[in-house]
Amino acid sequence: MPKKLFIRTYGCQMNVYDSARMADVLAPLGYHAAQEVDEADMVIVNTCHIREHASEKVFSELGRLRDLKAARAAAGQGLIIAVAGCVAQAEGKEIMARAPYVDIVLGPQTYHRLPEMVARASRAGGRVLDTDFPAEAKFDHLPEPTAQGPSAFLSVQEGCDKFCTFCVVPYTRGAEYSRPAAAILAEARALIAGGACEITLLGQNVNGYHGDSPDGGHWGLGRLIRALAELPGLARLRYTTSHPRDLDDDLIAAHGEVPQLMPFLHLPVQSGSDRILAAMNRQHTAAEYLRLVERLRAARPDLALSSDFIVGFPGESDRDFEDSLALVRAVGFAQSYSFKYSPRPGTPAAALEQQVPDAVKEERLAAFHALIGEQSAAFNRACLGRSFDVLLERPGRRDGQLIGRSPYMQSVFVEAPAAMLNTVRRLRITDTHPNSLAGTLIESEA
């Protein structure tokens, strides 16, 4: 009997990918996507542990689902509630104890076992907690992905061994694991057959990729990108998120040599102060980061960069913060994300003394936003009058309008017929805004 599945996804693109794969895994059981949570027979909350108050937010969402489940029960109907993702991994036992109406708690490494978990949960009282890091690779047990539109995600690497002192990922996602190249190429072919013309390769530390290659050796990310670029029908490649330490020569060269590899790179640096970078266990200095940027731009002069910064890491002085602003000025980012440091239980930095007062963090965040906002607005302004290829991804709010992505990840608005959705078109940029661009179609000369 057809059933409806609603998945609420928080956090990073990896979670977006995992949610799509969970839907694929449950499709053979008759689950189809529900548009609204109210019509679902099963709800999965796919959680993220990075943000502040992550677990409180999960519990308040679960409280709403408890009410929905009670209303269903009153009408003689059921609702399966599952909690997945990094909060589930880190706090699975607590969720089981505090939220007895939750049927399934599963970590990011076990969702290939969802059908079995659903079967167990459907039996009276059969609650399931599965947050192992199983020996078998979940990827070997997942069905082919279904099309996700013109721009698709493909997970190539998971986990992280870097242990930055502020970060929970090494604990929630486990040790680094790279998928074999042949499996990635097969998944890419399936995505292209389903209509994807852009693929974003995902991994917590994606450029640490070192997967088995079809010839019996190992490939790094640069080599994998070169192999993917040979697949017919694949117009664009991107990858995220990278660590500066693992950006090797071949990957840098690929930015200059592989036309499908888009000229935009998210390369988090976190701070511009060597003292703070050391306390964060980032394993690189500010000068090493700047040198990488120089080498990347030598390979691909129009490369646009984005980054993540943490302000108010324990012990960060005004001087350290100034160093971060100086690094931003030196690089000139197309966009950037900045976060107030917030202690994550169990991470080394949470136990450090010299936590920075919240008022200081707020002040620094505001200064940071102002500088980054100026830089991204300047980057957008400089696009006026230029022409680029834009992948038209979705309808705009107005009739006759489509929204696409530039090579540099900017959103571009254009008047164009709906028939052009899912295609790459050449546009001239006619107007720029702080967070988007507007363009017109350039008629093909044929």
The single residue among 54, 104, 114, 167 that binds ligand SF4, judged by CB under 6 A, is 167
The single residue among 151, 157, 205, 307 that binds ligand SF4, judged by CB under 6 A, is 205
Instruction: Pick the piece of the chain touching ligand SF4 (CB under 6 A) from 13-21, 167-175, 294-302, 408-416.
Output: 167-175
Instruction: Work out whether 311 is an interface residue with ligand 5AD (CB under 6 A).
Output: no
Instruction: Work out whether 305 is an interface residue with ligand 5AD (CB under 6 A).
Output: no
The CB-of-167 to ligand SF4 minimum distance in angstroms stands at 3
Instruction: Work out whether 342 is an interface residue with ligand 5AD (CB under 6 A).
Output: yes
Residue 422 binds which entry of ligand 5AD, ligand SF4, none, with Cβ cut-offs from 5 to 8 Å by kind? none
The CB-of-15 to ligand SF4 minimum distance in angstroms stands at 13
Tokens 């988090």 appear where? 268
| 3-class DSSP assignment, residue 120 | helix
The CB-of-308 to ligand 5AD minimum distance in angstroms stands at 3
Could you count the other beta carbons within 10 Å of the beta carbon of residue 198?
22
Q: 189 vs 245, which CB is nearer to ligand SF4? A: 245
Question: From CA 327, how far away is CA 409, in angstroms rounded?
Answer: 22
Beta bridge partners of 437: 412, 432
Instruction: Work out whether 22 is an interface residue with ligand 5AD (CB under 6 A).
Output: no
The single residue among 321, 339, 368, 408 that binds ligand 5AD, judged by CB under 6 A, is 339
Instruction: Work out whether 250 is an interface residue with ligand 5AD (CB under 6 A).
Output: no
What does DSSP say about strands 424-432 and 387-395: parallel, antiparallel, or unpaired? antiparallel
Q: 236 vs 344, which CB is nearer to ligand 5AD? A: 344
Q: 311 vs 416, which CB is nearer to ligand 5AD? A: 311
Question: From CA 348, how far away is CA 330, in angstroms rounded?
Answer: 30
Handedness of CA 20, 21, 22, 28 (dihedral sign): positive
The single residue among 131, 270, 271, 422 that binds ligand 5AD, judged by CB under 6 A, is 270
Tokens 């830089």 appear where? 375
Handedness of CA 164, 169, 175, 176 (dihedral sign): negative
What does DSSP say about strands 3-9 and 264-266: parallel, antiparallel, or unpaired? unpaired
Instruction: Work out whether 344 is an interface residue with ligand 5AD (CB under 6 A).
Output: yes
Q: 10 vs 388, which CB is nearer to ligand 5AD? A: 10
The single residue among 11, 107, 108, 170 that binds ligand SF4, judged by CB under 6 A, is 170
Instruction: Work out whether 266 is an interface residue with ligand 5AD (CB under 6 A).
Output: no
Which residues ranging from 180 to 199 are in contact with ligand 5AD (CB under 6 A)? none
Could you count the other beta carbons within 10 Å of the beta carbon of residue 219?
22
Residue type, 239: Y
The residues, any chain, with a CB within 8 Å of residue 120's CB and separated by 6 or more, are 126, 128
Instruction: Give the Cα-Cα-Cα angle 371, 372, 373 (nearest 5 degrees).
Output: 90
The single residue among 163, 186, 214, 302 that binds ligand SF4, judged by CB under 6 A, is 163
The CB-of-268 to ligand 5AD minimum distance in angstroms stands at 4
User: Among 161, 159, 167, which residue's Cα sits nearest to residue 280?
Assistant: 167
Among left, alpha and beta (phi > 0; psi -120 to 50; other), residue 270 is: left
Q: Alpha helices, DSSP H only, in 145-285?
A: 169-172, 181-193, 221-229, 249-257, 274-279
In the sheet where 104-106 sits, what is the strand order? 31-33, 3-9, 42-47, 80-84, 104-106, 128-130
Which residues ranging from 392 to 431 are in contact with ligand 5AD (CB under 6 A)? none
Question: From CA 163, how far away is CA 281, in angstroms rounded?
Answer: 7
Instruction: Work out whether 308 is an interface residue with ligand 5AD (CB under 6 A).
Output: yes
Residue type, 184: I
Q: Residues 112, 25: contact at Cβ < 8 Å? A: yes
Residue 341 binds which entry of ligand SF4, ligand 5AD, none, with Cβ cut-offs from 5 to 8 Å by kind? ligand 5AD
Residue 293 binds which entry of ligand SF4, ligand 5AD, none, with Cβ cut-offs from 5 to 8 Å by kind? none
Residue type, 359: A
Residue 159 structure tokens? 């986990």
Q: What is the DSSP letter of 261?
A: B
Query: One symbol per residue from 32 to 51: x for binding ligand 5AD (CB under 6 A), - otherwise; what is it?
Result: ------------------x-
Q: 240 vs 375, which CB is nearer to ligand SF4? A: 240
Instruction: Work out whether 203 is an interface residue with ligand SF4 (CB under 6 A).
Output: no
Instruction: Work out whether 167 is an interface residue with ligand 5AD (CB under 6 A).
Output: yes
User: Among 230, 307, 297, 221, which residue's Cα sits nearest to residue 268?
Assistant: 307
Instruction: Work out whether 226 is an interface residue with ligand SF4 (CB under 6 A).
Output: no
The CB-of-309 to ligand SF4 minimum distance in angstroms stands at 12
Q: Which stretches of the chain bind ligand SF4, using CB under 6 A? A: 160, 162-164, 167, 169-170, 204-205, 243
Binding site for ligand 5AD (CB under 6 A): 50, 166-167, 268, 270, 308, 310, 339, 341-342, 344
